[in-house]
Structures are given as structure tokens and as C-alpha cells.
Structure 1
Amino acid sequence: MNEHTDAVKTHLGEAGTHLKQAASAAGSAVKSAAAAAGDELRLGKAEVKAELAEGASAGLGAVEHLGGASKEQLDVLMDKGRDLLDSAAELIRERPLAAFGVAFAAGWLLSRLGRSER
């Protein structure tokens, strides 16, 4: 019986040694993976910061041009308003009686609408 007991002890000792080595290898693998993940995380963080900075720069560029764009639009609207006034003035010069009649009718209609609301 001593022979079998010794064999069991030997095999269990070998199994224990292999388990210790496996645990050590697993610990090394986890440390290596953590270091690699940390490097990737730092790289990703740097890329995110760079993209955010470029986005902010582009946004500021848009804001800088916003004033000019709104002035351009205002100029276009003012030109259209002047054209409309010129057209109305020309129409009044060409047909003064018709213009007076339209203005009188519009005033009368507005006064009637004003009275009906009260």
C-alpha cells in the first residue's frame, strides 16, 4: 500500500506544482493584458481629445463667419425691399387712380375688420 500512497503523493505534488505554474502564468498574462489595455486606453483618450479640439475649432470658425453671413442675408433682404418699394412707386406713377382706389379699399377693409373685433 505504501507504493500506491507514494504514487498518489507524487502525482498530487506534480499537480500542485503545475497549478502554481499555471497561476503564475495567468498572473503574468493578466498583467500584460492590463498594460496593453492601458496603452490602448491612453491612445484612444488622445485621439478623442484631438477630435474634440478639432470640432471646437471648426465650431469657432463657423461662429466667426456667422456675422458675415447674417449681414449678407440682411443685405439681400434690404435689396428686395428696395426693389418692392421701387415697383410700388412705379405702379403708383403709372396708375395713380388705381393705386388710390386700392389703398382706399384696403384702408376701408382694415377699418371694418378692426370694428368687428370689438
Structure 2
Amino acid sequence: MTPTSTDAVKNNLGEAGARLAQAARDAGTAVKSAASVAGDELKLGRATVKSDLADSAMAGLAAVEEGQAAAKEQYDVLMDKSRDLIDSAADLIRERPIASFGVAFATGWIIAKLARSR
């Protein structure tokens, strides 16, 4: 028996349907693979961001510690300068007690005058 045109159309449509079904299966597989790869990339990206944030926090803590050390150094320098200034003033008072008393008396008198005028 010779195949008729109707049989040929049926065969072609059947093959087209089978190929279309295979294309749908391949598309589904591709989407699943893409989703899996995207999920893996997302996990990797999340881990990278967490690592960067942790490194940033560590650098911030190190900066705070260094800032505390720098502040203590500046405090120590300031305290040394104030001690030197007090020692210098004490030496000046010992060397010239009458002049020191005169300056102190004049300063007190000026402050008292200014306070009374207000």
C-alpha cells in the first residue's frame, strides 16, 4: 500500500509534535539549569558580600583601636606640656616673688573692676 497524502500529513504533524515536545523538554531543562546556576551564583555573591562586610568591620575596629591609642598619646603630650607650664610658672614665682605678687594683685583688681561694672 502506498502512503496517501493524508498519511504523509499525519506523519509530518506527528514528527512536528514530537520535535515540539522535545524542544519543550529541552527548554525546561535549560531553565532548571539556569535557575540552579543562578542560585549557586547568588550563594557565592552572598558569601562574598558577607566576607567584605566582615573585613570592613574588622578594619573599622582596628581604626577605633588606633584612634584610642592616638588619643592617649595626645593626652599624654598635653599633660606633659601642662606640667612643664606649671613648673615654669612655679620657677618664675620663686625667682621673682614680689613681681608675681604684683601681677596677681593687678589681675585680681582688674577682674574685680570688670565684675562690678556689669
The TM-score by the shorter chain falls in which range? 0.5 to 0.7
Shift in Å, 1:82: 0.9
How far apart, CA to CA, are the structure 1 residues paired with 2:115 and 2:67?
41
1:53 is matched by which residue type in structure 2? A
Are residues 1:37 and 2:35 paired?
no
Q: TM-score, normalised by structure 2?
A: 0.64
* Inter-CA distance 89–30: structure 2 relative to 1 (3 Å threshold): same
How far apart, CA to CA, are the structure 2 residues paired with 1:65 and 1:89?
36
Range moving further from structure 2, 104-113 or 26-35: 104-113
- What are the within-5 Å matches in structure 2 for residues 3-42 of structure 1? 3=5, 7=9, 13-42=14-43
1:106 is matched by which residue type in structure 2? T
Identity of aligned residues (%): 63
- What are the within-5 Å matches in structure 2 for residues 1-118 of structure 1? 3=5, 7=9, 13-64=14-65, 68-117=69-118
How far apart, CA to CA, are the structure 1 residues paired with 2:14 and 2:114?
106
List runs of 5+ in structure 1 lacking aligned partners.
none
Shift in Å, 1:81: 0.1
1:27 is matched by which residue type in structure 2? G
Count of aligned pairs between the two proteins: 114
Shift in Å, 1:11: 5.6
Q: TM-score, normalised by structure 1?
A: 0.64
Please provide the CA RMSD for this pair: 3.3
Shift in Å, 1:79: 0.4
* Inter-CA distance 86–14: structure 2 relative to 1 (3 Å threshold): same
Shift in Å, 1:104: 2.7
Deviations 1:51-82 (A, max 9, x none): 33333334444555555444322221110101
Shift in Å, 1:109: 3.0
List runs of 5+ in structure 2 lacking aligned partners.
none
